[in-house]
Amino acid sequence: MAVGIFDSGLGGLTVLNAAQTRLPELDFLYFADSAHAPYGVRDAEDIYQLTRKAVNELWGAGCNLVILACNTASAAALRRMQEEGVPQGKRVLGVFVPLIEALTERQWGDNSPPREVEVKHVALFATPATVSSRAFQRELAFRAIGVDVEAQACGGVVDAIEDGDMILAEALVRSHVDALKRKMPEPQAAILGCTHYPLMEEAFQAALGPEVKVYSQGDLVAESLADYLARHPDMLGDGGGGYLTTGNPSSVSDRATQFLRRQISFQAA
């Protein structure tokens, strides 16, 4: 009874970890497309093709439900995959929904007109591909009015995290926050719009200041997944759990173990 979780690399482990904590009775099959990471600097067509290939592999491994634990893939590929159709009995979901639900305090299925929300000034930190897609702003506009979103493309952060260079990653975070604040001096909330970024949440919070509420996706996605499975128990697949990567299993395992502080062993996809 495995749920598939896909990411271009290791950032999705933040979602996996939260999901395992929230739903300890479930198995999860994690797929890291490490050979092609990072996705954030690729064009939309490339991201779509890579994402579709990985999701098909997870479906083939027995996962009825696949979570795109990658904001770049969610922004560039999810809508197209859903519009083109998925196999009967299969589903693919992204990570934007729980985040926007939390920010707007309304359920995704609430189709009432957009309304004002408490937070008016939002900083969005994301990969270049997510920022250029404007997917977050588009989905937010369907549900809220009067919200000013200032997006900052955080080039280099994912690469530094994937390489295990957390000192460089922290320096890049401070630089990107400074750049954002030059455009929006007093954000009320900050969205960590990449599942790698929760690994640097303390650095983001320190650079932004204690008065800024930082939204991180792991726990939000895990709670949303629990609710979804309670309403759709048929979406539990018959595959087993584990960790797959298109990269070097040994080096990916080492970095994953470092990130989660517990032994993680990847196999070749």
* CA dihedral of 85, 89, 94, 99, whole degrees rounded to 10: 130
What is the rounded end-to-end Cα distance, in angstroms, of the chain?
A: 19
From CA 102, how far away is CA 184, in angstroms rounded?
Answer: 22
Question: Which stretches within the chain are classed as H helix?
Answer: 13-22, 44-60, 71-73, 79-84, 96-104, 128-133, 135-141, 157-162, 166-183, 201-208, 217-231, 249-260
232: number of Cβ within 10 Å:
12
Can you read off the two tokens belonging to residue 69? 């634990």
Helix axes 13-22, 249-260, angle to 10 degrees: 60
From CA 112, how far away is CA 115, in angstroms rounded?
Answer: 9
Catalytic residues: 70, 194
Tokens 């990471």 correspond to: 37
